[in-house]
Amino acid sequence: MTLKRLRALTAAAILGTGALIFGLAGCTGYTESSGDVLNVWESYNNEEHRVFDEMARQPFEAWYRQKTGKPIRIVLGRVPFDGLLPKLKTACQTRTTPDICRVDVAHVVQLAYGKAIVPLDTLQAFGGGAPEKLRGEYVPAAYDSCLLELKQPGGQWVKHLYGLPDQTNCLCLFYNKRLFRENADRLRKAGLDPEAPPATWEQFKAYARALTLPAVSQFGFAMDNSLWWTLPYLNSWGATFLGRDGAGNLVCTLTEKAAVEAFKYKVGLYRERFQVDGVETSAEAGAWIPGAVDPTQGFANSNYAMIFSGPWNLENLKLAKGVELGVGLVPQGPKGGVSTTGGSNLVVFRHCKNQEAAFEFLRFVTSAEFQLKWASRLGQIPVRADVMDKVDLKDRPELKVFYKQMLSAQARPAVPGYDRLEELVNPELELGLKGQRTPEEALTAAAKIVQQQVLSAVNEL
């Protein structure tokens, strides 16, 4: 079997749609591009687009000419964020990809495995050295989402930098200060401070119980089921998702003790029953059950006292009637309070005729000066750790908590077809939450199916 055929089969096995075969589609030419033009596809919202156009296009053109003495022109193309990966697949097959594109963090892995994007650390402009050398300038988890170790045809695993982060986010604990205040006596009776969020997972469970009043449909906590929303538990217990066996092959490590203990805790939030005024209840609302009121809506309705959420919900929930929004860190577990991350990265496609200039553009828009202005104007988390204490947050004090949380956040598993992981793992997690499997049985089943349907194909490369 030829290597090309094997890669095609592997791509189909991993993604089910063949979306990972960018590199096999001949992504090598783009007649409409030239060395003095960089075509950039971006998917920002309207406000972000205006700011990006203003701050990135002409300023970079002037900066690049001053630095190199050469002209450069940035051509921005707006594309939808949702559904971008299939569009890029088509563009690659027809040789019409952009030079640079903003993509979801989960999609960098597919593009890298498909050999569609440039390992940035191989460029002259990178300046040599290890691919990790710029990590200290950026939010670590955001940088790590671009730092990938891929198996080569000869069996070696080689690490490269496949992009730079342009936006990042994480999960924090949202709590309703009004409900904390109204239940202050119950909280104090449990030895808890009604003026502060829980600091540890042990405290978190106690808060959730004290804030649960089934008679008025009030629950202490509401959660989501999926893998991404489960990662803060796994991370905080020190669990890993991926490991290597003695032969260097990837293995799913969800069966390890730390993962089982973390998931057992999460399951217990819903399955452990207790009495409140003679009514049996649980601290978690069952918000993950299909058809239930989801965590965000239930929090806005003041039915849920605590949820985990991201900066994208800050403004809406601050305006919700009856909600006095507080934001706290992910509670501390055996290995700290470790959130998961989302966001997007900028990548350079292999066809790009001026890859050095493209890298310079990525460094320009992720520079400290650019990120300070970007985060201050838009109220976002900068991807640079060195500007977090300089952003003007007087109108957005809640973001300070996100800034702190980001510094200990952890990138999601670097597996091609992350969406496929969710499809495979989520049903098993649901069975565990429903009590149809023990936490250990659910994770064992999830690990087995991930190994069979995803990692085995990667290991055959």
32 is written with which tokens?
């409409």
Contact 211, 186 (CB under 8 A): yes
Burial track 86-97 (b if 16+ CB lie within 10 A, e otherwise):
eebbebbeeebb
Q: Are 333 and 339 in contact (CB under 8 A)?
A: no
Task: Let me know how long the chain is.
Answer: 461
Q: Per-block average pLDDT, block size 10, for the chain (461 residues)?
A: 38 39 37 74 96 97 96 95 90 91 94 94 97 97 95 85 97 98 98 98 98 97 97 97 90 97 98 96 97 97 98 95 97 97 96 96 98 95 95 92 96 88 96 98 98 90 73
Residue 360 and residue 319 in one domain: no
CA 265 to chain centre: 22
How far apart are alpha carbons 327 and 317 in whole angstroms?
11
Range of the domain at 148: 3-169+342-406
Taking CA atoms, 178 is separated from 20, 302, 309, in Å, by 48, 9, 18
Is residue 163 domain-shared with residue 179, that is, in the same domain?
no
* CA distance between the termini of the chain: 12
Same domain for 208 and 305, yes or no, is: yes
Query: Does 411 reside within a domain?
Result: no
In a domain, 204, yes or no: yes
User: Whole-angstrom Cα distance, residue 234 to residue 215?
Assistant: 33
292 shares a domain with 393 = no
> Would 24 be classed as within a structural domain?
yes
Cα–Cα distance measured from residue 425 to residue 290, given in angstroms and rounded to the nearest whole number: 16
Same domain, 289 and 391: no
Nearest to 178 by CA among 332, 320, 329: 320
Instruction: Report the alpha-carbon distance of residue 281 to residue 218 in Å, rounded.
Output: 11
b/e per residue, 228-241, with b = 16+ CB within 10 A?
A: bbbbbbbbbbbbeb
Residues 239 and 145 in one domain: no
pLDDT of the residue at 34: 56
Phi, psi dihedrals of residue 227, rounded to the nearest 5°? -55, -45
Query: For residue 346, what are its two tokens?
Result: 């900028």
- Asked if 30 and 127 sit in the same domain, the reply is yes
Helices 355-365, 58-68: axis angle to 10 degrees equals 120
Residue carrying structure tokens 């022109």: 73
pLDDT of residue 178: 98
Look at the chain and report how many structural domains it folds into: 2
- What pTM was computed for the model? 0.91
Q: What's the confidence (pLDDT) of residue 11?
A: 43
Pair 149, 191 in one domain: no
User: What is the distance between the alpha carbons of residues 444 and 422, in angstroms, rounded to a whole number?
Assistant: 15
Does any domain span residue 412? no
Quote the CA–CA distance of 423 and 425 in Å, as a whole number.
Answer: 6
| Residue of 429, 457, 456 whose CA lies nearest to 445 | 429
The greatest distance separating any two alpha carbons of the chain, rounded to the nearest whole angstrom, comes to 79
Residue 429 and residue 263: Cα distance in Å, rounded?
9
Cα 86 from Cα 314, distance rounded (Å): 31
What Å distances lie between residue 60 and 33, 57, 358, CA to CA? 18, 6, 11
So what's the pLDDT on residue 323?
97
| Cα separation, 51 vs 35, whole angstroms | 26
Residue 218 is assigned to a structural domain of this protein: yes
Q: Is residue 257 part of a domain?
A: yes
Summary count for the chain: helices (H), strands (E):
19, 14
What pLDDT sits at residue 95?
87
Check: CB of residue 354 under 8 Å from CB of residue 362: no
313 & 425 share domain: yes
CATH code, domain carrying 40: 3.40.190.10
Counting Cβ atoms within 10 Å, is residue 356 exposed (0-12), middle (13-18) or buried (19+)?
Answer: middle
Judgement on whether residues 373 and 448 belong to the same structural domain of the protein: no
**Do 322 and 390 sit in the same domain of this protein?**
no
The answer to whether residue 109 sits within a structural domain is yes
Q: Are 329 and 253 part of one and the same domain?
A: yes
Show the tokens assigned to 329: 């860190």
